[in-house]
Structure 1
Amino acid sequence: MNNQEQLTPAEKEVFEALRQPVQPDIQLEDRVVNALKEEGLISTHSGWRQWTLRIAASIALLAVGIIIGKITYSPMETTSQFNYMLVLYEDSRFTPSDPEEMFTEYSKWMTGIQEQGVTIDGQEMKPTSLFLEPDGSQVTTENERRVGGYFVINATSLDQAIKIAKNSPHLKYGGSIEVKEFMIR
């Protein structure tokens, strides 16, 4: 439209009506819902039956999962993956070297054992011990001969466990090793 064109009074009235807010028909929602029901796009039935079936299916799947878990889980596999303990003793003959050097040497020894397919784990122990006596008293000691650490392994035999112990850097530093077999029942 250019400036020379003028709106008729009817056109002005239509434009003015467009500026006013429009209220939808109050029964519009009911007509749309009824039309969707007739087309089968929404259901008028309650969903209790479907909910019941879904819950029952979920419970059944959970039960199957628990049963399968119990069948495939074998507690013996995780309770005793080790069958020998190497107890490392230290006394006045034990002469450690640089801690970093010793750590590297023990780590290399453990890696070699793992490469043979033997599971190994261990820990160094603090020099003091706490003994609990039958009467409940506690005695803290620092013995001449003390446990300096331990390793647990899964060897195929006592001979293999002894061979592993003989190759330990602990013997090189003057320590001694006790090889103990677990009593697995």
Structure 2
Amino acid sequence: MEKYMFIFIGGDISHLSPEAQQAHMGKWFEWVKKLQDQKRYASGEALLPEGKLITGPKKTVTDGPFAESKEVVGGYFVVLAKDMKEAVEMAKECPDYVLGGVVEVRPVMKFDM
């Protein structure tokens, strides 16, 4: 099995009622449980919207990313899959597509050290 990272972009639930937010999060917990039961879930975390951006050779620090952006990374998973095709099929079960969310699927590079 190889490691793949799912990077979750968008999919903002803040406009939903508290009940709808809770129901949507339940779908996430069900998906994580399924991946765990299949021994495919390696790790993952949700990210808070605030942060800092560090850029350029002078390492300039600015506020960001900004929560109003539709391209804010909301979290990530690292999963185990036999290949990219299987990882993509796994990512298709993400609950955020109904909210306009996007999942970027990336292979994790191995380093021989």
* TM bracket (short chain): 0.7 to 0.9
Per the alignment, residue 36 of structure 2 pairs with 114
> What is the CA–CA distance in structure 2 between the aligned matches of 1:183 and 1:161, rounded to whole Å?
15
Gapped regions of structure 1 (runs ≥ 5): 1-80
Q: Is it true that 1:132 corresponds to 2:54 in the alignment?
A: yes
Structure 1 residue ranges (4+ consecutive) displaced by more than 4 angstroms after TM superposition: none
Q: Is it true that 1:151 corresponds to 2:77 in the alignment?
A: yes
CA 1:95–1:183 in structure 2 vs 1: closer, same or farther (change >3 Å)? closer
Q: Displacement, 1:151? A: 0.9
> What is the CA–CA distance in structure 1 between the aligned matches of 2:32 and 2:42, rounded to whole Å?
7
Larger CA Rg, structure 1 vs 2: 1
> What is the CA–CA distance in structure 1 between the aligned matches of 2:2 and 2:61, rounded to whole Å?
30
> What is the CA–CA distance in structure 2 between the aligned matches of 1:104 and 1:120, rounded to whole Å?
20
Per the alignment, residue 4 of structure 2 pairs with 84
Q: State TM-score, norm by structure 1.
A: 0.50
What per-residue deviation string (whole Å, max 9, x for no partner) do you get for residues 48-100 of structure 1?
Answer: xxxxxxxxxxxxxxxxxxxxxxxxxxxxxxxxx9711100001xxx4524332
What per-residue deviation string (whole Å, max 9, x for no partner) do you get for residues 1-28 of structure 1?
Answer: xxxxxxxxxxxxxxxxxxxxxxxxxxxx
CA 1:173–1:120 in structure 2 vs 1: closer, same or farther (change >3 Å)? farther
Q: Displacement, 1:147? A: 0.5
SS of residue in 2 equivalent to 1:113: helix
Q: Displacement, 1:101? A: 1.8
> What is the CA–CA distance in structure 2 between the aligned matches of 1:168 and 1:105, rounded to whole Å?
9
> What is the CA–CA distance in structure 2 between the aligned matches of 1:127 and 1:82, rounded to whole Å?
29
Per the alignment, residue 95 of structure 2 pairs with 169
Q: Displacement, 1:152? A: 0.9
**Letter paired with 1:123:** E
For residue 104 of structure 1, the aligned residue among 15, 22, 26 is 26
Gapped regions of structure 2 (runs ≥ 5): none
- The alignment covers a number of residue pairs equal to 102
Indicate if the aligned counterparts of 2:8 and 2:73 stay in contact, CA closer than 8 A. Answer: yes
Indicate if the aligned counterparts of 1:82 and 1:152 stay in contact, CA closer than 8 A. Answer: no
CA 1:104–1:120 in structure 2 vs 1: closer, same or farther (change >3 Å)? farther
Per the alignment, residue 27 of structure 1 pairs with none
Identity, in percent, stands at 24
Per the alignment, residue 45 of structure 2 pairs with 123
The structure carrying a bigger strand percent of its residues is 2
